Amino acid sequence: MCAFRHTSRRNIISQEIRETLTGAVDLILPFKCAVCGNVSDTKDRFGDYDRLYQELYGKEPELHICGKCLSEFTACEEIRRWLLCLSEPVENDPVPGLPLYTPFAYTGIAEKCIPKIKFGKQIELARFFGCVMGSLLAKDGICADLMVPVPLSSSRLEERGFNQAGEIAYPVARLNGIPYAEDCLIRTRDTKRQSEIDNRFKRASNMKGAFSVSSEWDVTGLTIAVVDDVVTTGSTLHEAAAALKKAGAADVLCIAFAGNRTVKNAEPF
């Protein structure tokens, strides 16, 4: 037998062994749902996602979500996805009427998952959110010249190991053919966690002037989509948008995966 045939045969055997072993391990350690922790029954249903993940990240995902949790990922109806960025308008707003697109309510499954991303460091859940939101943006016909995530402070980035806004924004950008600029916005100072501040005025002043545009980027005349994981009062996205407009951006669309808004200021853009 020539060396080539010998190698091929060996590869086939190791493939068979690999599959058998994988099957055995699956029986011993069934897939665990990343959301509820129960046994996940969705291995086969993730076929398309597996392929997409492989294309975006060059490896297979380890994420599993059970059928029950998966069925709870239901986006708001289209009219409810469009809001004004600030929950309450402010006087002398440098970016009045800033549009916000937020396809999921910050309740139920989203509310369960966000802490798992932020504090449980479940980076793949953020990427899954990004893929889900990316396909919604495509359906809703949203486009931009550049997509930028809301940045974390360097100390929080070090503590968490990744920026969840960036992990959500990257697949959204890729799925929609929008150039992605991870380092376009920079934090000019550390801020307190917005979730630890209950008053909207204090939240606004906590974020005031917290961002600027990196000198590496010229955003003049561009339409920019700025992405965060969650929106509550809108102060963080508003400040990010103000920095982009100040640097010359023509238009800014704020995007958050989930929001806790009522629909009182909803209007389509």
The verdict on 184 binding Zn ion (CB under 5 A) reads no
Q: Give the tokens for residue 31.
A: 């897939």
Kindly state the smallest distance separating residue 122's Cβ from Zn ion, in Å. Answer: 13
Q: In angstroms, give the least distance from the CB of 65 to Zn ion.
A: 6
72 versus 182: smaller Cβ distance to Zn ion = 72
CA 252 to chain centre: 17
Residues 6+ apart with CB under 8 A from 246: 94, 213
Measured from the CB atom, is 32 or 160 closer to Zn ion? Answer: 32
State the minimum distance, in angstroms, from the CB of residue 112 to Zn ion: 9
User: What binding mask, one character per residue, do residues 4-43 give for Zn ion by CB under 5 A, x or -?
Assistant: -----------------------------x-xx-------
Asked if 113 touches Zn ion (CB under 5 A), the answer is no
Q: According to CB under 5 A, which one of 52, 63, 69, 242 is a site residue for Zn ion?
A: 69
- Residue type for 217, please? W
Q: Where are the alpha helices (DSSP H) in the chain?
A: 3-28, 47-57, 67-71, 78-81, 108-118, 123-139, 154-160, 164-175, 200-207, 235-246
Task: Report how far residue 143's alpha carbon sits from residue 225's, in angstroms, rounded to the nearest whole number.
Answer: 8
- DSSP, residue by residue, 205-269: HHHTT-EEE-TT---TT-EEEEEEEEESSSHHHHHHHHHHHHTT-SEEEEEEEEE---STT----
Q: Per rule CB under 5 A, is residue 123 in the interface with Zn ion?
A: no
Taking CB under 5 A as the criterion, which residues in 201-220 touch Zn ion? none
Nearer to Zn ion, 66 or 148 (CB): 66
Q: Find the part of the chain contacting Zn ion (CB under 5 A) among 61-69, 105-113, 211-219, 236-244.
A: 61-69
Alpha-carbon distance 106 to 59, whole Å? Answer: 30
Among 52, 63, 66, 165, binds Zn ion (CB under 5 A): 66
The minimum distance between CB 77 and Zn ion, in angstroms, equals 24
- Kindly list the residues in this chain that would bind Zn ion in the complex (CB under 5 A): 33, 35-36, 66, 69
